[in-house]
Structures are given as structure tokens and as C-alpha cells.
Amino acid sequence: MKISITQLLIAAVFLYNGSCMAQGDTSKVITLKQAFDLALKNSIQLKITKRSSELAKQRIEIVKLGELPNLSSSLNYGYVSNSEIWTPSFSEHQTAHIPHNLTQLSVVASESIFKGGEVKTNLQKATLENQIANLSEDKDFVDIKFLVAARYLDIYRLINQRQVFINNTNLSKERYKNILIMKKQGMVTNNDVLRTKITISDLELATRKADNSIAILNQQLNIVLGLDSSYRLRPDTALLKAKLESRDIHTILAEAYHENQDLKIASTGVKVAETNLKLLGTDRYPEISLFAVNNFQRPYTNTIPALDIYYNVYQAGISIKYNISSVYQSPRKRASGKIQLQQSIEKEILQKQNMEVAVNTAYIKYKEAQDELATFQRDLTSAEENYRIVEKKYFNQLALLTDMIDATNTKLEAELNVSNAAINVIFTNYQILKSTGTL
């Protein structure tokens, strides 16, 4: 019965999992979706981004307050001095007595009824900025998920490589036993024994290095997932069996135009620049507002002598203010706003070009990874058959040890190529999802 490479890889991971449990490691199988969920829940980076979104939303509420009336009050209590009076020539002087106890209560209410659309435009700008913050949060979601996928697949790749090294180590040890028997019979020299021991030593070193790399990547992934640093990830073996959706480049690009967060942010940035240009033009208009003022005060100083009495005065009406300096300031501000708008439009064009390049690159790499996997699988079949033939010849003294080592190395390289290619197909598929913004 012929066993597929996928089945071999799945079996390898099961063997690795069993060895981890035998060693008493804190380990558990986590699917990639579960890893995504943990990252979205526990990532500190995403928590920071979420606070930015909440802050942008709160700014909208603050801007809305500009539509409400302003109300202020003040209470003053203190001392009023006497009034010193001089004639125009300062030749005569006298002191007018004023009651010294000052009490003053004021209440002022005002409401802007026209300000060139400034409040409405500020609200539009705050709303667009909130949209950008939400899109940035979505983009960070995609970036974090891609980081998790990359680390997850790197661990998966190293686990498979580790098992390939172990399998070849076991084969080399079996061959070593046979060589020792042949040496006792005078069929091979001590050189064959030494070369085989070196091969075993190199494979064991490669296994230890793979273990170290797995531990490093595990710790990096644990930080993102919010898990304890000693936690050992065991990837889901069903990942390699999952069927990937087949789509053409035109469908992928159409999806990217609609979903890519960077492109949406750039497009919204153009709207922000347009809104900002409108906002810069509001100072060309007068501000019209309604007002009401009530003043309750003691003493009454509008007579001579001043009277120590409480009096109340209120005012109400309409106020018109106009910033005359806007006549020469506004054109320059609007010129700056137009430059910013043009810059935002060009950024959107650049982002669209970058997105198209990223999607096309990811798609080509995905197709290349599929082609590599098919090629390496055929190569592995040939390498295994070559190894079987050379091994048989070697033990029948029809081939040299160098031929046996070459066949071993070819088989090892072919197994590693297939292992890496199988993972790379999945990784490049996630690169497509990231470039389109749909991960």
C-alpha cells in the first residue's frame, strides 16, 4: 500500500506529540483558528489599537457638544477701594467714598446659530477619523493573525523537519549496526564505520537545533497568544488535509479592492482632507449667536457717591463676530489644504499600486509553492527508490559508502523539501488573504 507524504507528515507530528507528553511538557493541540481567537483576545498590541478606536469614538461625542448652548457663571466676593478723583490739570484732588464690600454674581448663556458650518464639518471630520481608527484596528487584526499563522506554520515545519531527522537517524543507526557486523567479517574498513558515525552525529545535532528553534518560536507565539512562556504548542495535524479554495487572480484582485484595509484607510484619508479643506473655509464667514447675560452686583457704582445696594441687570440679544484677519489668512490656509488633499489622492493611488503588487506577488508565490510541492513529491519517490537500490548494493558490496551517503543525503533533502513545500503552500495562501485584507 502506498502512503502519501501528507500521511507521513501527520504521523510525524503524532510521534512528536507523544514524545512531548512522555517528557511531561505542558502541551496541547491548538488549531490555527483557536490560535487566532487567543491572539485577538490577549494581544497587547490589539488592546492598544482598541483604545485608539474608543478614543476616536469619544472625540465624536466631544464635537457634538459644539451644537449645544454654552452656559457659564461666576461669583466674585472681595474688596473695592475708594475712588481717587483729579482735575484734568491734577491741581485738585479728592477721594470719593465707595462701599468696600464687593459681591458679584454673573450668569452667561450663548448659543451659536451660524458659524459657516464649522460644527457640522468638525463632526464629519471626527466621524471619518473614527472610521480610520476602526479600519486601523481591522488592519492590526489581520497583521496579528498573519503573525500567528507564520509562527504556527514555522513550528509545524520544524516539527516535521525534526521527525525527518529522527527517522533518518534511526535508519543510520540500523545501517551502523550492519556495518559493524560487516567490519567483523572483514567486508568493510574502519573508514565506513567512522563516516556513518559522523552522519549519525550530524543528524542528532540537526535534531537538537530543531528543538531549540521550536522552543524559541513557541515562546514568541505564547506572548502573542497570552499563554505561559513554558507552554508547548502542538499544531493541528488536520491543517495539511484542509482543501484550499482555488481562485483566479482577477477574483482575488476584485476582493482586495473591496476589502483591503490599507486601501480603505487611504480612501478615507482623501475624504478627511476634503473635509479639512471645507473646515479651513469656515473662518471666512461671520459667527452669529444668541446670548443672555444676568449680572447681580453690589455696590452700585454708576452714581456719585456710590450706593451700597444690590442691583440686578440682564441683557439678551444677538451677537455677530467677524474675524477680519481671515480676509488674508483664509486663502493661504486653503492653499495648504488643497496641497494636503492632492497629497492624499496621490497616497491612495500609491496604496492601490502597492496592493496590486502585493496581491500579484502572493498569488504567483502560491502557484509556485503548489508547483514545488508536486515536483518535490516526485523527487522524493525517486530519492526513496534510489536509496533502497544503493543500500541493497552497498550491503552486497556492489557500491561504496560514499554512494550510500550520497543516497542518504539525497533522500533527506527530498524529505525536507516536501515537508517545507507542504507548509509553504498553506503559508502562501495566508499571504494572499493578508494582501487582500480578508484573513
Q: What pLDDT is attached to residue 184?
A: 83
- In the chain, pLDDT over 90 holds for what percent of residues? 6
Q: Taking 60 as the threshold, does the pLDDT of residue 23 lie above it?
A: no
Q: What pLDDT is attached to residue 67?
A: 77
Q: What pLDDT is attached to residue 208?
A: 93
Residue pLDDT, tens place only, 408-417:
888 888 888 8
**pLDDT: which is higher, 10 or 358:** 358
Q: What pLDDT is attached to residue 331?
A: 83
Q: What pLDDT is attached to residue 172?
A: 83
Q: What pLDDT is attached to residue 316?
A: 87
Burial label for 192, CB within 10 Å (0-12, 13-18, 19+), is buried
Q: Taking 90 as the threshold, does the pLDDT of residue 183 lie above it?
A: no
Distances, alpha carbon 406 to alpha carbons 137, 215, 377, 396, in Å:
52, 31, 19, 17
Q: What pLDDT is attached to residue 22?
A: 39
Q: Taking 60 as the threshold, does the pLDDT of residue 17 lie above it?
A: no
Q: What pLDDT is attached to residue 357?
A: 92
Q: Taking 50 as the threshold, does the pLDDT of residue 158 lie above it?
A: yes
For residues 297-325, one letter each, b for 16 or more C-beta atoms within 10 angstroms of the residue's C-beta and e for the rest, the string is bbbebeeeebeeeeeeeeeeeeeeeeeee
Cβ–Cβ < 8 Å for 119, 68: no
pLDDT band at 321 (very low <50, low <70, confident <90, very high): confident
Cβ–Cβ < 8 Å for 266, 135: no
Q: Taking 60 as the threshold, does the pLDDT of residue 24 lie above it?
A: no
pLDDT band at 16 (very low <50, low <70, confident <90, very high): very low
Query: Looking at the whole model, is its pTM more than 0.75?
Result: no
Residue pLDDT, tens place only, 259-309:
888 888 888 889 888 888 888 777 788 888 888 888 888 888 888 788 888
Residue pLDDT, tens place only, 186-213:
777 788 788 888 888 998 999 999 999 9
Q: What pLDDT is attached to residue 2?
A: 37
Q: Taking 50 as the threshold, does the pLDDT of residue 317 lie above it?
A: yes
Q: What pLDDT is attached to residue 363?
A: 92
* Phi-psi label, residue 226: left if phi above 0, alpha if psi -120 to 50, beta otherwise: left
Residue pLDDT, tens place only, 356-407:
999 999 999 999 999 999 999 899 898 888 888 888 887 777 777 777 778 8
Q: What is the rounded radius of gyration, in angstroms, for the C-alpha atoms of the chain?
A: 39
Residue pLDDT, tens place only, 26-44:
667 788 888 888 888 888 8
Among 172, 161, 170, 175, residue whose Cα is nearest residue 206: 161
Q: Report the 10 Å Cβ neighbour count for 86.
A: 10
Q: What pLDDT is attached to residue 238?
A: 76
